[in-house]
């Protein structure tokens, strides 16, 4: 599987972390704008999904598939949002995103005494652990 | 309270650093502040900051999703949350008619093993940190609540009772331009 | 993971969050550039806790034969009760100094595995220094403990016995 990039947002619209591993095309707008666009798009999609839902569904957005990439979405009950773009061969990666949250984000950001809630993630250990995990996955 | 004849409780042994540290903290705060009420407030504030992070650890360890209503939140809080971190399951009781308030009754409070309140500090809510933790944790799942002690066994009451009142549901921040 | 290990881990986690908040409050109260003061307060707190914790931990343990016996106990049973792991290495000059190596100190594990946060890390060693001085003083060994980060998350605690 090829993993392109990952965004982590908190429930206050802030992008706490962004990392890309492969990217062929830039969005053509400054990073900050791109984060806002991504967050806004997710927000709208979630809203549309719940309004247009045919059956009452517990879960909302899981992701979408475009012709040449797939977007995967995972949200914690506390409003942390994990958005990952991959190639179209990738199936359901809820467990991957959940692992990133539970085993990497919580371990090295939430449990990091120096990292404060709401701040951008600067921990090198977090970045390294995430990288290791993603590299590992990419070879499967 | 005699603890003889009970099999070695591993939780008690492994949780001792936490409860002893908490005890030392309370003792220090009592020395630092003049009034019991100030200590209570400080404990609540610290609890809030802890709760805000603890809830993430909770979701990382358990498979819980979002709660649909306040009653479910009470259930998860006691049967999963309290159980996970303090090893006890408080009873949920005394629901208000509107369903917006309930009590947590604790038969056992792991924070207070071996603790006795001195005569001069009867106004101290030794375990007030719990109230702050609940408040902080629930705020992260968008429930604004008021949490307070109704009764405390340490102060001579029959049971330890914490009251939780639902104030309002917090909405997600709306991104600019999405109204 | 066994049930007891899970319980031990969540208790450890609770302690870490409490400790984190205590440090944060002390830092806020002391203000900027008052690291020494914060560390001292943490050490005093740790000292009181160490005194009580050693009592509970050594309840069923026979009397310590000598100083080394007591220090070894701190490295094993005491450290395990506190941090769910033991000290990885103990060195002594057989006079008045012991050096305890923890290769993965619990309070540093979520910080870094390199050079980041090295400066901030020092404050997270103070409480444990106090634990040791408190515990040892309660078994009759008066000492001074200084800690140093070697390579995150490893650190050493140097115990100097006072006469």
CATH number at residue C31: 3.30.1380.20
Q: How close does chain B come to A26, measured CA to CA in Å?
A: 23
pLDDT at B5: 35
User: Could you report the per-residue pLDDT of A109-139, keeping only the tens digit for each?
Assistant: 999 999 998 999 999 999 999 999 999 988 7
Rounded to whole angstroms, how far apart are CA atoms C111 and A123?
8
What is the C-alpha to C-alpha distance for residues B9 and A97, in angstroms, rounded to an integer?
A: 36
- Mean predicted lDDT score pLDDT of chain B: 88
CB A39 within 8 A of CB A15: yes
> Does the pLDDT value for residue C106 go beyond 90?
yes
Among B51, B53, B141, most A C-beta atoms within 10 A, so best to mutate, is: B53
**Residue in C4, C19, C56 closest to B21 by CB:** C19
**What is the rounded average pLDDT of the residues B104-113?**
88
pLDDT-wise least confident of B50-54, B116-120, C67-71, C94-98 = B116-120
pLDDT at C136: 97
pLDDT (0 to 100) of residue B135: 98
> What residue in A sits closest to B68 (Cα-Cα)?
A58
Contact C110 A111 (CB under 8 A): yes
pLDDT at B4: 38
For residue B64, the chain A residues in CB contact (below 8 A) are 77
Q: Which domain holds residue A70?
A: 3-138
Test B175 with A36 for CB contact under 8 angstroms. yes
- Return d(Cα A45, Cα A43) in angstroms, integer: 6
Q: Is pLDDT above 60 for B3?
A: no
Residue of B nearest to A45 (CA): B178
Inter-chain touch B60–A117, beta carbons under 8 Å: no
Backbone phi, psi, residue C11, to 5°: -65, -40
Kindly tell me if the per-residue pLDDT of B11 is higher than 50: no
Chain B residues within 8 angstroms (CB to CB) of chain A = 52-53, 55-57, 59-61, 64-67, 140-142, 172-178
**In b/e form, how buried is each residue of A51-71, taking b as 16+ CB within 10 angstroms?**
eeeeeeeeeebebeeeeebbb
Terminal-residue alpha carbon distance, chain C: 45
- On average, the pLDDT of chain C sits at 94
Q: Superfamily for B15-115+124-169?
A: Trafficking protein particle complex subunit 3 (3.30.1380.20)
- Gap between the Cα atoms of A4 and A108, Å rounded: 22
Residue A64's alpha-carbon distances to A26, A35, A46, A70, C94, in angstroms, are 19, 18, 12, 6, 67
Answer for the pair B118, B144: CB distance below 8 angstroms, yes or no.
no
Q: Which residues 47-76 of A have a C-beta within 8 angstroms of B? A: 58, 76
User: pLDDT at position C128, please?
Assistant: 98
Report the sign of the C-alpha dihedral through residues A36, A42, A45, A51, in that order.
negative
Where does the pLDDT of residue B39 fall: very low under 50, low under 70, confident under 90, or very high at 90 and above?
Answer: very high
Q: Say how far apart CA B26 and CA B31 lie, in whole Å.
A: 9
Q: Which pLDDT band holds residue B112 (cuts at 50, 70, 90)?
A: confident
- CA-based nearest distance B66→chain A, Å: 5
Model confidence pLDDT, tens digit, residues A46-83? 988 888 877 766 668 999 999 999 999 999 999 999 99
CB contact under 8 Å between B46 and C22, yes or no, is yes
Task: Provide the β-strand partners of residue C99.
Answer: C91, C158
Q: Report the pLDDT value the prediction gives residue C17, as an integer from 0 to 100.
A: 97
By the 10 Å C-beta count (0-12 exposed, 13-18 middle, 19+ buried), B113 is classed as: middle
CB contact under 8 Å between B59 and A110, yes or no, is: no
Q: Which domain holds residue C112?
A: 3-161
| Interaxial angle between packed helices C123-138 and C35-57, expressed in degrees from 0 to 180 and rounded to the nearest 10 | 40
What are chain C's partners, defined as 3 or more CB pairs within 8 angstroms? A, B
- pLDDT tens for each residue of C58-78: 988 898 999 999 999 999 999
Per-residue confidence (pLDDT) for residue B66, from 0 to 100 = 86
What's the CATH code of the domain at A106? 3.30.450.70
Q: Which of C9, C21, C27 best probes binding to B when mutated, by most B CB atoms within 10 angstroms?
A: C21
CB B56 to CB A110 under 8 A? Answer: yes
pTM for the model stands at 0.93
Higher-confidence residue of C118 and B6: namely C118
Average pLDDT, chain A: 92
Cβ distance of B56 and A44 shorter than 8 Å: no
Condensed to tens digits (0 to 9), the pLDDT of residues B119-175 reads 788 889 999 999 999 999 999 999 999 999 999 888 888 889 999 999 999 988 788
Put the strands of the sheet holding B91-93 in their side by side order: B91-93, B101-106, B160-169, B143-151
Number of domains in chain A: 1
Tell me what the mean pLDDT of segment C22-38 comes to.
Answer: 94
Position B8 scores a pLDDT of: 42
Q: Are A71 and A84 in contact (CB under 8 A)?
A: yes
DSSP string for B77-104: IIIIIIHHHHS--PEEE---TTSSEEEE
CA separation for the pair B164, B145 (Å, rounded): 7
HEC assignment per residue over A62-84: CEEECCCCEEEEEECCCCCEEEE
Task: Sort out which chain B residues have CB atoms less than 8 A from A44's CB and list them.
Answer: 178
């Amino acid at each position: 599987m090829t993993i392109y990039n990952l965004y982590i947002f908190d429930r206050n619209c802030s992008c706490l972390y962004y990392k890309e591993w492969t990217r062929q095309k830039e969005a053509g707008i400054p990073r900050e704008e791109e984060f806002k666009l991504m967050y806004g798009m997710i927000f709208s999609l979630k809203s549309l999904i719940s309004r247009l839902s045919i059956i009452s569904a517990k879960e909302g957005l899981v992701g979408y598939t475009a012709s040449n990439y797939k977007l995967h979405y995972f949200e914690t009950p506390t409003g942390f949002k994990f958005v990952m773009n991959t190639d179209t061969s990738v199936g359901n990666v809820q467990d991957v995103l959940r692992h990133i949250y539970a085993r990497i984000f919580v371990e090295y950001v939430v449990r990091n005494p120096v990292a404060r809630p709401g701040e951008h993630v600067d921990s090198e250990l977090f970045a390294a652990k995430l990288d290791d995990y993603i590299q590992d996955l990419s070879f499967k | 309270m005699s603890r003889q004849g009970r099999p070695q409780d591993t939780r008690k042994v492994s949780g001792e650093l936490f409860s002893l540290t908490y005890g030392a903290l309370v003792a220090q705060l009592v020395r630092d502040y003049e009034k019991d009420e100030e200590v209570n407030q400080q404990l609540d504030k610290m609890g809030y900051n802890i709760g805000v992070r603890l809830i993430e650890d909770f979701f990382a360890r358990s498979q819980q999703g979002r709660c649909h209503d306040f009653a479910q939140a009470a259930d998860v809080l006691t049967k999963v949350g309290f159980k996970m971190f303090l090893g006890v399951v408080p009873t949920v009781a005394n629901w208000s008619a509107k369903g917006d308030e309930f009590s947590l009754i604790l038969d056992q409070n792991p924070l207070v093993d071996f603790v006795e309140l001195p005569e001069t500090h009867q106004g101290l809510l030794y375990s007030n940190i719990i109230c702050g933790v609940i408040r902080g944790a629930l705020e992260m799942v968008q429930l604004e609540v008021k949490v307070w002690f109704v009764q405390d066994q340490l102060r001579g009451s029959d049971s330890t009772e914490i009251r939780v009142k639902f104030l309002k549901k917090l909405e997600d921040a709306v991104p600019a331009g999405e109204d | 993971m066994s049930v007891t290990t899970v319980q031990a881990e969540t208790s450890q986690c609770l302690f870490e969050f409490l400790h984190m908040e205590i440090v944060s409050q002390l830092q806020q109260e002391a203000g900027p550039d008052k690291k020494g003061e914060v560390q001292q307060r943490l050490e005093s707190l740790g000292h009181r806790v160490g005194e009580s914790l050693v009592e509970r931990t050594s309840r069923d343990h026979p009397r310590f034969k000598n100083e080394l016996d007591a220090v070894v106990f701190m490295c094993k049973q005491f450290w395990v009760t506190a941090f769910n792991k033991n000290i990885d290495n103990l060195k002594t000059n057989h006079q008045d100094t012991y050096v305890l190596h923890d290769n993965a100190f619990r309070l540093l594990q979520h910080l870094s595995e390199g050079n980041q946060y090295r400066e901030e890390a020092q404050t997270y060693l103070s409480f444990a220094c106090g634990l040791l001085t408190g515990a040892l003083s309660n078994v009759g060994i008066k000492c001074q403990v200084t800690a140093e980060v070697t390579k995150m998350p490893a650190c050493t605690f140097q115990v100097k016995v006072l006469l």
